[in-house]
Structure 1
Amino acid sequence: MATGDCAAPAYAEAARANAESLVRMNLSVFGRPEAGWETYAPVAAREIGTRCAPDTPGFAQALAGWPPGGAPDGVMTEAALQAVEIAVQARRPIVAVLDRGVCPDPPTELADARPGEGYGGKAVQLRPGALAAYRAMVAAARAESPEIAADPRFLQIYSGFRSPASDAARCERDGDCNGVTRATCSPHRTGLAMDIYVGQAEGYGPDSSADPNRLAQSRMAAYRWLVVNAGRFGFAGYAFEPWHWEWTGEAP
């Protein structure tokens, strides 16, 4: 992750503490116990404005200078990570809508993805504007990242628009509605949300919320490119699910 000079001698001790907590800190930022914050390191680095690796003094220095984080010593805490999560969530328009107690109606117009845009040949639909923005983003990613360009699966969509009835059936089937991995009012009903292939850990599906899978995805080129660049095309992510992205160019 590190680029440029990430040396900051005054934050050497903070860097050592962050290296330790990166894999050991007990936290529950998304309401589920986890060990370590490495999965969220790319998002945290993007939010605090650094490309330094999370165990470097340069990262600690950037964290110390990030006002919302409340970490003036440069040491990552659960509270600082929660501040990152809040800042990222605020970019998702669906969050503000749901906070008002509103569940958006499905869109009246949808466009079909082209063959090759759906993962495994899957048929995918999105709002026309979201699909156009997605195509521009994928073209840029393949032009800018040789690793993404080398594997045509990267950034293919495996879930786009899902009807309310479809989501209700998923909730019933999985027995998990309105939790960290399933929502009664899913963003997918808006036609603005998409689950994008960013890779997977061996033995897991690309949308597995198991900690080993999400950690592996957070280390992959496709996800790291999205974290840094998706905002250029109007997309906001959901930090708990590396594959989930929402277009912010229209109201839900």
Structure 2
Amino acid sequence: MTFKPSTPLRFLGGLALTAVILGLVVLRVTSCAPVSKPHATAARPPSVAPAPRAPAPLPPQAPSACNVGPADAARANAGSLKTLVWAPFGRSETGWATYAPLIAREIRTACAPDTPAFAAALAAWTAGQRLPADGVMTPVIFVRLKTVIQLRRPFVRLSGQGVCPDPPPASALSWAAPAEGYGGKLVQLRPGAFAAYRQMVAAARREDPRIAADPRALTLFSGFRDPASDAGRCAREGNCNNVQRATCSAHRTGLAMDLYVGEAPGFPPDSSADANRLYISRTPTYRWLVVNADRFGFVPYPFEPWHWEWTGEAP
């Protein structure tokens, strides 16, 4: 007797076969389907790096200690100190002696720039910056030093973002006392900057008799400058956007000031001539500022030894 599947069995078998085929089709489709990409996350704006910390106060150093270090590097530095032809601020100049006090402060040495100990301190600093650590000053090393010093200026960090801060309203500015202005000049600053300035001047005169003996020392010959009048002046003189005067000047903030720190014979105190800047870099007043101004919240502009900015308020 031959077995013949009944109609119900044939129907159930067909359903099973259909289910298997559908399962294979579904498996095939889902395994080949493209994987959906995750939603892109909006990029966060880069945060502004904080200002580099000022170097710690210098420890006392005996004169004999300045003779310890790489002699070859010291000889190389002694030569380039007066002969290096370069343009650290976009203008050709010879030698780096003008910047030696700031460099010494940054690398934490009180020794002269042509000594072995200066070379040793420079080598230690550059090693921390992943630069050649042979103790020889080069333009590449100075660029790094300049960058570190410049980034302590809040105005520079803002400018790096393409921001030119608005000037403060007239009601937010104060006038210097007549004795505080160089030659009796009228100067305006923000009150907080004035308070810090007065504390700094008092300390300088108390700590260095040579500064106390010169009534002109640390007097103000420029402070707040109205952007409109500043723009008109630089347009008339044709030097709006160089190291001497920028179209967006830090003086618009009421936090930047030009101080009398000396002048070479035949030059005004704010002459950017190399001879004048070199002379100023050797004065007791400037040397005191380099070592002590940060105690009161002031940072320098390396190209102009007379230009200092207070960091106690945002520009």
Task: Return the letter of the residue paired with 1:105.
Answer: D
Partner of 1:112: 175
Partner of 2:77: 18
- C-alpha separation between the residues in 2 aligned to 1:163 and 1:40? 30
- C-alpha separation between the residues in 2 aligned to 1:68 and 1:134? 33
1:194 alignment partner, SS class: strand
Q: How many residues align?
A: 250
Residue 84 in structure 1 maps to residue 142 in structure 2: no
Structure 2 runs not aligned, ≥5 long: 1-59
Task: Return the letter of the residue paired with 2:129.
Answer: P
- C-alpha separation between the residues in 1 aligned to 2:80 and 2:233? 36
Task: Return the letter of the residue paired with 1:73.
Answer: D
Residue 163 in structure 1 maps to residue 226 in structure 2: yes
- C-alpha separation between the residues in 2 aligned to 1:71 and 1:183? 33
Shift of 1:71: 3.7
Residue 27 in structure 1 maps to residue 90 in structure 2: no
In terms of mean alpha carbon deviation, does 64-73 or 44-53 score higher? Answer: 64-73
Structure 1 runs not aligned, ≥5 long: none
- C-alpha separation between the residues in 1 aligned to 2:200 and 2:238? 35
Shift of 1:223: 0.6
- C-alpha separation between the residues in 2 aligned to 1:68 and 1:157? 36
Partner of 2:104: 45
- How high is the TM-score relative to the length of structure 1? 0.97
- How high is the TM-score relative to the length of structure 2? 0.78
Task: Return the letter of the residue paired with 1:159.
Answer: S
Partner of 2:157: 96
Residue 210 in structure 1 maps to residue 269 in structure 2: no
Shift of 1:166: 1.7
Higher relative contact order (CA 8 A, sep 6+): 1
Shift of 1:69: 7.2
- C-alpha separation between the residues in 2 aligned to 1:147 and 1:167? 34
In terms of mean alpha carbon deviation, does 201-210 or 64-73 score higher? Answer: 64-73
2:258 alignment partner, SS class: strand
Paired residues for 1:124-163 under 5 Å: 124-163=187-226
Q: 1:19 to 1:246 in 2, by over 3 A?
A: same
- C-alpha separation between the residues in 2 aligned to 1:241 and 1:170? 19
Instruction: Assess if the C-alpha contact under 8 Å between 1:69 and 1:80 holds in 2.
Output: no
In terms of mean alpha carbon deviation, does 164-173 or 16-25 score higher? Answer: 164-173
Task: Return the letter of the residue paired with 1:28.
Answer: A
Shift of 1:213: 0.3
Q: 1:148 to 1:71 in 2, by over 3 A?
A: farther
2:180 alignment partner, SS class: coil
1:116 alignment partner, SS class: helix
2:179 alignment partner, SS class: coil
Percent identity reads 64
1:188 alignment partner, SS class: helix
- C-alpha separation between the residues in 2 aligned to 1:201 and 1:70? 36
Shift of 1:70: 2.0
Shift of 1:95: 0.5
Task: Return the letter of the residue paired with 1:51.
Answer: A
**1:136-173 CA-partner distances (Å, limit 9, x unpaired):** 00000001111111101010000000001121122112
1:192 aligned residue (238, 249, 255) = 255
2:242 aligned residue (179, 192, 216) = 179
Task: Return the letter of the residue paired with 2:285.
Answer: A
Runs of 4+ in 1 over 4 A off after TM superposition: none
